[in-house]
Chain A
Amino acid sequence: MSEAATQAGQVVLARYGELWLKGRNRVDFERALMRNAGVALRSIDPQARVEREHGLMVVHPTRRVHDVARRLEQLFGVASLSVARSAPSERDPIAAVAHELLRESLEGFSRERPVRFRVKTQRADKRFPMTSPELDRFVADGMPLDLVPRIRVDLSRPELELGIHVRTGTSYVFAQRTGGAGGLPVGTVGRAVVLLSGGIDSPVAAWMTMKRGCEAVLLSFHSRPWVGEGFERKVERIARSLARWQPRTRLVLAPLAEIQIKIKETAPPPYRTVLYRRMMQRIAGLLAREERAGAVVTGESLGQVASQTLENLALIEAAGDLPVLRPLIGFDKPETIALARRIGTFELSIENEPDCCTVFQPERPIIHGKRADCEAAEAALDVEALVTAAFAARRTLDVGPD
């Protein structure tokens, strides 16, 4: 059989099973999930059909079924996935497809010893003339003779499980189950502005925001002409990488150099970093209002750099009027790095590219900043004019996944 022919009749089953979801919530959840799936598959298989069948999303690809499944692994709201084959809902065709799939799956196991195996049927269609255990047994008993020595039935610790979903009309048979991204479909829990630097942490914070169903609008600051276009390119690449996880990704780039220069001229050097960040917070507030976002998200965690103290975090937050969410607050650096690798942003983040902070960084940033000192320093600045000007000079990009 050719490789192409083996793809016919294959589907991807995506289970979401957040069983606590009821009524209106559930409808919104399912709608968002299907819509996001459609967008996610555009670059691989725009003709793929996405359907909902009681508690299950079934995707019918026209090509590259495994690539489609891998893409759906990055869809928030999906708990687990299987590539499955369809069969008419009668016992003989189901068994035939199950045996074909078993034969193929066994190629992936060493021949040195028998593979612990079981069949597990679930019936959505209770009118099917056999019970689930009866169908399990029927499939196992009808095993082609040459496969018999390669398997050993083991109901408690199987290495290979053939799953069968019996449904009205068409049933599905699958051998593997991979973990989904979990979380909630992006767009079901509103929108937040995420401050994106070129570093490792903030993309992870953005990802965690999306994971809980909240659309992330990315805001980044550049210091042109003190740094080159390379920094913006880096942030754009990070944004494209994050765009694999949400259907619509907006990146806003605002200039910070003017503000940094003014602060550098007037403020005590140790306060510079806190003051820059307070300005960023204000600009984020303007963007949030425009994007109807309900929070600002940062990649800050406690104590990772000397200046990330409770006092400083409070000072920065106080500059804006929206809640500031810090999804990484309890993470150690290695935990953040592990997640960044999984998300796919780590390699991009570690590329050496001077950013807006490097140039204007004071030698010794303040550790325990005081509100009065901040306000005194800002009294020498026309804060509103600076913030408005930076916001007005922003550049907005809607990026697609790469």
Chain B
Amino acid sequence: MLGVLGPVLYLDNAATTPLAPEVRAAMLPYLEEHFGNPSSRHTLGVGAARALEAARAQVARATGVRPEQVVFTSGGTEANNLAVLGLARAQARHGRHVLIGPTEHPCVRDSARALTEEGFELESLRLDARGALDLEHAATRLRHDTVLVAQMLVNNEFGTIYPLARLARLVRANAPQARLHVDAVQAMGKVEVSLGELGAHSLALGGHKFHGPKGTGALVLAEGVRPRPLVFGGEQERGLRSGTENVAGLVGLGQACELVEAGFSRARAAFAERRAELVAELARVPGAELLEPGGRASVAPAICSLLLPGAPAEAWQHHLEARGVFTSVGSACQAKKGGLSPALLALGLDEERARRVLRISFSRHTSAADVRAGVDALAAVARELTA
């Protein structure tokens, strides 16, 4: 790939991904001649409405629901906000207890925190010693007045796949009033993301994590589940998200979902191969260790969390960048907040070690040569930093 500064090896796909050419092509007509407002009754409007409908069907197919169950949003953050705030408020007559996962993204964590100002009681689930979700503990925290459980499917910092289907059974058995919301933003394209398979009431997606455009996302709802809206106005999206739809962007989101569906098994195999190659090559970087919280079989291979020796990950990141290799320290969203990642601390890493964690994340287009080149750069930086 060619960046503004020359050739670039982009290994930060968990932060964002480049737009797929097919997605761009699908979007262009809606940025140009097909500019209609989907609410208009004339042909230009109906055309836009049809395009949205097709996109909705694409998202629905990828997540195993009917099109009517898809609510378009401006991204994963809004989808998660709508779920956490909207579902808790809609269920408030049944109780005010809210449980969130131990390593949630700030858009879930901080939304849940905001609920405490409305009188909700907030508790966190926890990880066990292996870094897996502690389901025994979860079973004891679920209550009859629990109205919301929010748990991510794939961790954005180290790739752990959480056992949502099992958590869903526990929730249904022990907290019959609770809605189970799944942040699947990081999961899409990496593992199966089906509302029914997970047994959840809602799940959030963000288009730019799987080669769709930024500014697009969706909240997928189980039948009969209706959050209180956060945005009011023209009653678009069945009144759940007012505002004239981002037609071009959502067409792109739909196309990106279709590409995920079409290439899913291929992508999954490629991710597994890349990770195996990384594991093999990593021997060339003495002291580097791949973190696999919850065990190897429970980590999405596309997200590789490296505990590096010596210098803080920040130094590694910028030395790598100088060689044209883009990675990240913690998540991009965490980076903006300064501070250490609570998720890494939840794993039981001490502060010093948590500062030495670097994230490398693949896309379905990352090649074996890319992995080799990435490790070449890591090995070279290792020599520089220890010199």
Contacts and interface: CB of A to CB of B under 8 A. Distances in A.
B221 to A, nearest CB: 13
Interface in B42-86: 42-43, 46, 49-50, 53, 57, 60-61, 64, 66-68
A304 interface: no
22 contacts: A3-B164, A3-B191, A3-B197, A4-B192, A44-B64, A64-B196, A64-B197, A66-B197, A67-B64, A67-B197, A70-B64, A107-B170, A108-B169, A108-B172, A110-B174, A111-B139, A230-B41, A230-B46, A233-B46, A233-B50, A237-B53, A402-B57
B297 interface: yes
B173 interface: yes
A99 B201 CA distance: 28
Contact of B173 (A3, A43, A110): A110
A66 B195 CA distance: 10
A347 B64 CA distance: 19
A237 B54 CA distance: 10
B166 interface: yes
Interface in A212-239: 228-230, 233, 237
Nearest to A6: B165
A4 to B, nearest CB: 7
Contact of B169 (A43, A107, A230, A237): A107
Contacts of B197: 3, 64-67
B46 A229 contact: yes
B169 A67 contact: no
Contacts of B50: 233
A337 B68 CA distance: 17
B165 A402 contact: no
Contacts of A2: 161, 297-298
A145 interface: no
A1 B297 contact: yes
Given A2-B161, A3-B192, A64 B64 contact: yes
Interface of B: 41-43, 46, 49-50, 53, 57, 60-61, 64, 66-68, 139, 161, 163-166, 169-170, 172-174, 191-192, 194, 196-197, 297-298
Contacts of A347: 68
A164 B281 CA distance: 48
Nearest to B164: A3
Contacts of B49: 230, 233
Contacts of B173: 107-111
Of A4, A5, A108, A228, the most chain B CB neighbours within 10 A belong to A108
A344 interface: yes
Contacts of B192: 3-4, 63-64
Interface string A175-187: 0000000000000
A46 to B, nearest CB: 11
Interface in A26-70: 43-44, 63-67, 70
Interface string A144-173: 000000000000000000000000000000
Contacts of B53: 233, 237
A104 interface: yes
A402 B254 CA distance: 13
B43 A228 contact: yes
Contacts of B194: 64, 66-67
B341 to A, nearest CB: 24
B253 to A, nearest CB: 16
Given A66-B196, A70-B196, A402-B57, A228 B297 contact: no
B41 A4 contact: no
Interface in A387-402: 402
When A and B form their complex, which 8 residue pairs have the shortest distance between CB atoms, in order from nearest? A107-B169, A108-B169, A67-B64, A229-B46, A402-B57, A2-B297, A228-B41, A110-B173
Contacts of A110: 173-174
Contacts of A348: 68
Contacts of A66: 194, 196-197
A289 B298 CA distance: 59
* Residue from B50, B139, B197 with most neighbouring chain A CB atoms (10 Å): B197
Nearest to A3: B165
A257 B165 CA distance: 54
Nearest to A67: B64
A165 B49 CA distance: 49
B360 to A, nearest CB: 21
A110 B49 CA distance: 45
Contacts of A67: 64, 194, 196-197
Nearest to B170: A107
B131 to A, nearest CB: 14
B296 to A, nearest CB: 9
A229 B68 CA distance: 20
B149 to A, nearest CB: 14
Contacts of A63: 192
A317 B196 CA distance: 45
Nearest to B238: A347
B169 A104 contact: yes
B77 to A, nearest CB: 25
A277 to B, nearest CB: 26
Given A5-B297, A229-B46, A111 B174 contact: yes
B67 A402 contact: yes
Contact of A402 (B60, B164, B166, B170): B60
